[in-house]
Every structure is written in structure tokens, then in C-alpha cells.
Amino acid sequence: MSYEKVSQAKEIVIGSKQTLKAIKEKEVSEVIIADDADRRVTNKILLVAKENNIPIFRVDSMKKLGKACGIEVGAATVAIKG
């Protein structure tokens, strides 16, 4: 499950703007996107990740994704660096 992968990752990037920046800087090994996130937020990340051949994983909940990151708020996207 991707939540476990996120919570065990050594280095993550939380949030759509930071994820997009990390992808463009070629620092990302995979991207996790919450299905309940706003599509306007996630569509650009999906597109850029696909263009860069970065694996994309989906989870059902922003709240659970945020919790897996160790934050109190939901996270629409998370990138695992590596």
C-alpha cells in the first residue's frame, strides 16, 4: 500500500507545487496522488510525471495521505525522492 511506502520513505516532498518543482528538477522516483484531491491541482502533476516516465500511484484519501506524511492536514500529492 502506498500509505506505508510514504510513511517509510527516507525523503518525501509534500504538496502539489513542491512535487511539480521536484519532478522538473529530476529528483522524484515516484508520485502518489489522492483520488479525492481537486483535479485542477493534480492534472498538471499527472501530465508532467507521465512526460518524465515517473511511476504514479493513487490512494483514496488526502487525509490519510497527509497522516502518512506526518502532517495534520490532507495532502493532494506526495513525491518520493530517489
| Residue-wise pLDDT tens digits, 21-44 | 999 999 999 999 999 999 999 999
Number of structural domains found in the chain: 1
Q: 56 Cβ partners below 8 Å, 6+ apart?
A: 30, 31, 32, 33, 46, 49, 50
Q: What are the phi and psi torsion angles at 12 (to 5°)?
A: -125, 160
Query: What CATH number does the domain containing 71 carry?
Result: 3.30.1330.30
Residue 15 has pLDDT above 70, yes or no: yes
- At 53-63, the pLDDT tens digits run 999 999 999 99
Name which of 9, 51, 73, 24 is nearest 32 in CA terms: 9
Q: What is the pLDDT of residue 1?
A: 61
- Domain containing 14 equals 2-81
